[in-house]
Amino acid sequence: MNIDQLTEVAYAMVQPGKGLLAADESNSTIKKRFDDINVENTEENRRDYREFMFRTEPAMSERISGVILYDETIRQKAKDGTSMVDLIKAAGSIPGIKVDAGAKPLQCCPGETITEGLDGLPKRMKEYYELGARFAKWRAVIDIADGIPTWTAVKSNMHALARYAAICQEADIVPIVEPEVLMDGGHDIKRCAEVTEWVLKTLYQELYEMRVVLEGTVLKPNMIVPGKKSPKQASVDEVAERTIQVLERCVPVAVPGIAYLSGGQSDEEATAHLDAMNKIGGFPWHMTFSYGRALQAAPQRAWSGKPENVAAGQAAFNHRARMNGLASTGEWSADLEKQAA
């Protein structure tokens, strides 16, 4: 384990003004995105879409510190034969890889899931390192509903996250640990805060027990928001204040940074919440973004699978990347958001 390398990469991932592009949708997930814009889900279309994103400037070089890839994408080549990994590296960004096998039903706990993918992971990690990946991602999903989450589901998922993180570091790959408390359901913001605090405290105990070096990790948590069906939604300021409070109670200062997932928030909501936290400041970590839909939805719509729309898609990506880059340093505003991409 090269601790110096792990730490250097982790800090580069969360450097001020930049964040992560989560382009790690599985083929089934990206089919849903493509269905929304009437694009056939073929390998060629998936390649063309991701290629135009990775070639977008100045977004990639100025605002994207790293890109989370799917297994297919890390092995793909662009139309001109350049590997996708080399496209990302040429922009000064760091290639990463999603390694979990998805959330499956947790048989002893109805309505809850466990993320799988640990079998054979050390061997896969070595291959991904050779392919150019320098960080990885594993997502654990925790739902809130009547009677859940249970201790069994929280403990099992955080233990798996910690085992994955230890395997990553042995392969000199920085682990993104992603414990996502879902924003589905009708729970209020207080309940989200309670569950998230429980989950994060359990996670860091498990990471300690697995001897994971925290300086070589990045946390990817949910923000503290009420459920989508809650009759009482929260203001931007309340989300920011409660999120910072929970993290200050749970996350060690040794962690280099926090890269939030958008978790179903709209583009502008995710940006506004990130900006509000950074405007408050005073915390020991850099807080940035690791967004999928909140960075890609607008470029996807503008592109719509047509070669003649690539420039429009890139303009939309440039705009969203710039907005979130500004939010990561507390410099975003609603007026800037209204400017044309």
In order of start, what are the domains of the chain with their CATH numbers? 3-338 (3.20.20.70)
Q: What is the pLDDT of residue 338?
A: 84
Is a pLDDT exceeding 60 seen at residue 305? yes
- What value does the mean pLDDT of the chain take? 96
Tokens encoding 220: 């990817």
Report the distance separating Cα 98 and Cα 115, nearest Å.
12
- Measured CA to CA, the distance from residue 151 to residue 199 in angstroms comes to 10
Band the pLDDT of 340: cuts 50, 70, 90. Answer: low
Q: 248-254 long-range contacts, Cβ below 8 Å, gap at least 24?
A: 248/283, 249/197, 249/201, 250/197, 250/200, 250/201, 250/204, 251/200, 251/204, 251/219, 251/285, 252/204, 252/214, 253/284, 253/285, 254/214, 254/215
Q: Please tell me the distance from the alpha carbon of residue 314 to that of residue 310, in angstroms, as a whole number.
A: 6
What is the pTM assigned to this prediction?
0.95
pLDDT at 111 over 50: yes
Judge contact between 294 and 262, C-beta under 8 A. Answer: yes
Report, as residue numbers or ranges, the catalytic residues: 178, 220
User: Given its phi and psi angles, is residue 285 left (phi above 0), alpha (psi -120 to 50 degrees) or beta?
Assistant: beta
Radius of gyration (Cα) for the chain, nearest Å? 19
Share of the chain above pLDDT 90, in %: 96
**Tokens 């931007």 -> residue:** 236
Measure CA of the first residue to CA of the last residue in the chain; give whole Å: 43
Instruction: Look at residue 339 and tell me whether its pLDDT is greater than 80.
Output: no
| Cβ neighbours around 185 below 10 Å, total | 17
What pLDDT does residue 118 have? 98
pLDDT > 70? residue 341: no
Q: What's the rounded Cα separation, in Å, for the pair 9 and 227?
A: 34
